[in-house]
Structure 1
Amino acid sequence: MKSIIKITLVLGIIVSLSSCKDNASPNYQYMPNMYESVAYETYSESKAFNSVNGLKGKEGQLPAVGSIKRGYVPYEYADTPESFAAVKAANLKSPLDPSKIDMKKAEELYVIYCGICHGTAGDGKGKLVTQGKFLGVPSYVDRVINEGSINHVINYGLNSMGSYATQLNQEERWMVAAYVMKLKSEL
């Protein structure tokens, strides 16, 4: 009885191994595109998105017309001296509720991004100025500024100061503007 079981087991293994491969009729590939996908070069044109308007396969990589990035809030003033003067003359106020502004966080943001040049007290004597790396950073006391003009300068930059719009979102820019006005009143 044991020999019959052994013979059956050996025959079963031989049959199962021989049935896996047949050169006359190869196995089927289900979803062959997953096994043999076409490799595309990064940022190259693709025939996957054919176009009539001359973009030649790039319209699948472009954002939809009129779309904006998630979390982006448009700023209605342009980066021109005329717009800066208009913002100053309009005396724009922060859209944030003054009682709900977290001055501790605003101070932290100011020290991180502004204090290195403008000084932690707003006196224009930051570390880079005292070391002679930048010259002519004025004190806030000497400037005619308001929250709107500060926000505009943080958004676009002015003179040798660059834009901080990528580092600070709109709410943080208004918080820093409120903190700068607080520093100006204390000087």
Structure 2
Amino acid sequence: MNSFKKIGLVIGLMFAFIACQDDSKPNYQYMPNMYEPVGYETYEEVDFLPNGSEAMLPPANTINRGWLPYDIANSPEGKEIARLNTSPLDSLNSEENLAVGGQLYTIYCAICHGDKGKGQGTLVKREKILGVPSYDDAARNITVGTTYHTMQYGLNSMGSYASQMNNTEMWQVSEYVMKLKQDLTK
């Protein structure tokens, strides 16, 4: 029995010695491109684009999703320029625009600004976000253009909504905010 323990100890030491050997040879890689990425420089000539590194035109008959670049800068001067903007929406459809704007306001804005625009939304009441303004604050002098500008770029702790809403929807919400401001000042 004692000899079995000695043989087991010798075999165990052999395994420990073999396991501690420095075998630096790397293992076989099944898909080496996944482990060793190929880097491309931004303006490098590449062979998978037809003109080298030039972007192609959109395919024929593609649908424009309504995104247009906003040409007013994200700066205090840009916000003053935006103050003069008026809504490009059709005034004959103002009731429909306000209805859609109200729905979008409830989805995106009411959680912070409140249903009436007093700056007392659920997150403010729970003290998760502080400093949300009321729309009737005369010092802020918000207009439909500054509201759109703020939704486009964001302001302070409010992020941009340009990726969640298209231009028409942001103008609809801006008009609804002006309606809430008018209701608060009555």
Q: Residue 84 of structure 1 contacts residue 149 of structure 1 at CA under 8 Å; is this kept in 2?
A: yes
Coordinate RMSD, CA, aligned: 2.9
Alignment partner of 1:161 is 2:154: no
Contact 1:96 1:171 in 2 (8 A): yes
Distance 1:147 1:54, change over 3 A: closer
Q: Deviations over 1:41-96 (max 9, x none)?
A: 6x9568xxxxxx9514277386448xxx93321211011121112222xx211000
Q: Distance in 1 between matches of 2:102 and 2:43?
A: 51
In structure 2, relative to structure 1, the CA distance for the partners of 1:45 and 1:181 (3 Å cut) is same
Cα distance in 2, alignment partners of residues 62 and 100 from structure 1: 43
TM-score (norm 1): 0.65
Counterpart position of 1:186: 183
Equivalent in the alignment of 1:121: 116
The residue matched to 1:141 in structure 2 has which SS? coil
Identity %, equivalent residues: 42
What does residue 150 of structure 1 align with? Answer: 147
Runs of 4+ in 1 over 3 A off after TM superposition: 43-46, 61-65
TM-superposed deviation, 1:148: 0.5
**Which structure exhibits the higher relative contact order, with contacts defined as CA atoms closer than 8 Å and separated by 6 or more residues?**
2
1: CA distance, partners of 2:118 / 2:47: 51
Q: 1:57 to 1:149 in 2, by over 3 A?
A: same
Alpha-carbon distance between aligned partners in 2 of 1:82 and 1:176, rounded to the nearest angstrom: 23
Change (3 A) 1:64 1:128: same
CA 70–127 in structure 1, closer or farther in 2 if over 3 Å, else same? same
Aligned to 1:18: none
Residue among 86, 93, 97 paired with 2:86: 93
Total equivalences in the alignment: 138
1:174 aligns with 2:171: yes
5 Å-filtered alignment, 1:2-151, equals 55-57=44-46, 60=49, 63-64=55-56, 70-71=64-65, 72-88=67-83, 91-101=84-94, 102=96, 103-142=98-137, 143-151=140-148
Q: Look up the match of 2:10.
A: none
TM-score normalised according to structure 2 size: 0.65
